[in-house]
């Protein structure tokens, strides 16, 4: 990104903050719409509190755990259902159910079954699982069969086949799943925290600010969620780009 | 030794081979000719074990088969040298040998190119280098020189003859000239 585009982005952000400030000025009701200055001051205050870092880190760890578990499970399920028709038929209704069930129903059920502290882990994982499962399955289905035939003829060992044919074929699908699902997983995890209020969580802070009508706090915590979301996306894009370059030029083309 | 006896292959209701017989002795070079759709590639697939006949017997006495397919079947995200090196064990230690094979087929300087950066003829020569580098007991060539001009095709034919000496070869071609140069016996398949 060059200086010109950075300046452009800053100006755009300032423009929208300006609109927000003007709207707050016109309304004159901080309970409905606090001014950007008061929100930024509140964020600054939060940054100085030790619990802020603890809360943010715990939410991040909790949700990341769910996402990571879903990625691993998604890859495993896609692999076993690819190689076993019986398992595919057996497990495909599970995928359908996960895809079509409203997230709120899952939150309530998880709350009853596993207790509030683990709900965000499960919910963020449930958002990521079908996407990874679906995409990796599609990647496995689309492996060029003529290349696999060639590998059979030349007796290419299994581990080289995986490294040179299977992995690079599946990688674009997997990376695309990661790109689309992690943001959703993060936001669903926060939503689950709001509904289940685990101790020391961003969701609980958002819930409490709503309870006590602390709109400034609500905005501040929401901004924190947005900033973390953007941070995750930036790191993820770098990771995806790097992996794409490592495996093949085709991956970069798919990006 | 290759022996096909009373082989019938059908795709749906269409019969591609009917009571087909072929015998190739060890070390013999055989060419298969015939019009498109006469079943030449099908015969190679039967020998390679990629296809099972509807009826009849297929016996192939070879452990290691070098098969040059009709299309190059190069892995698009690997370079030319990596494609060749794949059949040599995919190790850095064998990379110089892969490069040497590319040099032999006239592709020195193209080692680091991906298949999308190569012409059809170059891709075919990478596939040839891969088949020769693998050094099977049995060589199956499916129109291996179809994308090459005459001079280059002649050069590659010399190379094929040199590196398959003493090995069993089944060579599919439309060119009688090539069949004559390469083979001890020529089979002509009819539709």
Helices (H), B22-94: 40-48, 80-86
Q: CA dist B4 to A117, A208, A238, B33, Å? A: 68, 81, 56, 17
| pLDDT at site A248 | 58
Q: Sketch the domain layout of chain B as residue ranges.
A: 26-38+63-183
- Quick: pLDDT tens for B80-120: 999 999 999 999 999 999 999 999 999 999 999 999 999 99
Does any domain span residue A36? no
CA nearest to B86 within chain A: A156
Domain that residue A137 falls in: 49-254
Does any domain span residue A111? yes
* d(CA A129, nearest CA chain B) in Å: 28
Q: Which residues of chain A have pLDDT under 50?
A: 249-255
Q: Write the CATH number for A158.
A: 1.10.3720.10
| pLDDT at site A246 | 72
Does any domain span residue A31? no
* d(CA B164, nearest CA chain A) in Å: 17
Q: Is A168 on the interface with B (CB under 8 A)?
A: yes
Please give the angle made by the CA atoms of A43, A44 and A47, to the nearest 5 degrees. 85
A78: helix, coil or strand?
Answer: helix
Does any domain span residue A72? yes
Strands B55-60 and B2-11: antiparallel
| pLDDT at site B135 | 93
CA nearest to B132 within chain A: A154
Does any domain span residue A205? yes
Choosing among 3.40.50.2300, 3.40.50.1100, 3.90.1150.10, 3.40.50.300, the CATH entry for B26-38+63-183 is 3.40.50.300
Rounded Cα distance, B134 and B184, in Å = 23
How many structural domains compose chain A? 1
Rounded Cα distance, A221 and A120, in Å = 17
Contacts of residue A146 in chain B, CB cutoff 8 Å? Answer: 69, 71, 73
Q: Which residues of chain B have pLDDT under 50?
A: none
């Amino acid at each position: 990104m060059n200086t010109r585009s950075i300046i452009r982005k800053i100006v755009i952000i300032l423009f929208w903050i300006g609109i927000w400030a003007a709207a707050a000025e016109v309304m004159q009701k901080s309970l409905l719409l606090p001014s950007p200055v008061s929100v930024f001051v509140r964020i600054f205050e939060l940054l100085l509190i030790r619990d802020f870092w603890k809360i943010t880190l715990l939410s991040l760890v909790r949700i990341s755990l769910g996402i990571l578990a879903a990625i691993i499970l998604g890859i495993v399920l896609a692999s076993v259902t690819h190689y076993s028709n019986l398992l595919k038929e057996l497990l495909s209704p599970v995928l359908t159910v996960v895809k079509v069930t409203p997230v709120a129903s899952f939150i309530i059920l998880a709350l009853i079954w596993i207790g509030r502290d683990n709900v965000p882990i499960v919910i963020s994982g449930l958002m990521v699982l079908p996407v990874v499962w679906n995409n990796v399955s599609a990647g496995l289905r689309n492996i060029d069969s003529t290349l696999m035939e060639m590998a059979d003829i030349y007796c290419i060992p299994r581990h080289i086949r995986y490294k040179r044919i299977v992995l690079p074929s599946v990688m674009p699908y997997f990376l695309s799943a990661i790109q689309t699902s992690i943001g959703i997983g993060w936001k669903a995890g926060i939503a689950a925290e709001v509904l289940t209020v685990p101790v020391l969580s961003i969701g609980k802070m958002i819930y409490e600010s709503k309870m006590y009508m602390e709109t400034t706090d609500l905005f501040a915590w929401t901004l924190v969620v947005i900033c973390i979301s953007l941070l995750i996306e930036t790191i993820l894009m770098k990771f995806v780009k790097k992996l794409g370059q490592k495996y093949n030029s085709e991956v970069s083309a798919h990006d | 030794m290759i022996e096909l006896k009373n082989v019938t292959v059908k795709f749906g209701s269409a019969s591609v081979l009917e009571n087909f017989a072929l015998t190739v002795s060890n070390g013999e070079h055989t060419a298969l000719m015939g019009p498109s759709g006469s079943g030449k590639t099908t015969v190679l697939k039967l020998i390679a074990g990629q296809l099972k006949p509807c009826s009849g017997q297929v016996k192939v006495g070879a452990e290691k088969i070098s098969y040059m397919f009709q299309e190059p079947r190069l892995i698009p995200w690997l370079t030319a040298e990596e494609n060749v090196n794949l059949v040599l064990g995919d190790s850095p230690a064998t990379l110089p040998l892969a490069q040497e094979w590319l040099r032999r087929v006239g592709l020195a300087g193209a080692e680091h190119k991906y298949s999308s950066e190569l012409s059809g003829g170059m891709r075919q020569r990478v596939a040839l280098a891969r088949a020769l580098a693998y050094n099977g007991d049995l060589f199956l060539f499916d129109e291996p020189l179809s994308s090459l001009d005459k001079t280059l095709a002649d050069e590659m034919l010399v190379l094929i003859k040199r590196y398959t000496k003493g090995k069993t070869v089944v060579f599919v071609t439309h060119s009688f000239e090539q069949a004559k140069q390469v083979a001890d016996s020529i089979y002509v398949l009819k539709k």
